[in-house]
Amino acid sequence: MYQISKNMNINQMNVGNQPPRITAETVKQAKVFECTCGGKMFSEKMIIKKLSSLLSPTGREEMFPMNLLVCDSCGLVPKELDPDNMIPEEFKTK
């Protein structure tokens, strides 16, 4: 399985900007990512963000969904998965 949610593309998770070349061998050598709590399984969840009419480019209040990968053990998103710092602190590990 090789799945990246919409708001976290592979380029952001790699160092540098090379297109990812993932083979079965590469996957075998890769370590399993762990949450700060030690959790290794994650579930995709969704929050909905609301942009006030004052900030919205359309001049109207806008709502948009955002995918989160949440740790099954602690229920939070590991900070490393949010390099652009778009996820509210309350959902992230410290």
Under the rule (CB under 5 A), what is the footprint of Zn ion?
35, 37, 39, 71, 73-74
Q: Which is nearer to Zn ion, 39 or 81 (CB)?
A: 39
CB 87, min distance to Zn ion, A: 14
What radius of gyration, in Å, describes the C-alpha atoms of the chain?
16
Name the residue nearer to Zn ion (CB basis): 67 or 73.
Answer: 73
| Distance set, CA 2 to CA 26, 28, 30, 36, 90 (Å) | 12, 12, 12, 21, 27
Q: How far is the CB of 71 from Zn ion (least distance, A)?
A: 3
Nearer residue to Zn ion within complex by CB, 62 or 80: 80
d(CA 25, CA 31): 12
The least distance separating Zn ion from the CB of residue 90, rounded to whole angstroms, comes to 15
* Closer of 66 and 74 to Zn ion (Cβ): 74
**What is the length of the chain?**
94
CB of 53 to Zn ion, least distance (A): 36
- Alpha helices by DSSP H, listed for 1-94, are 10-13, 24-29
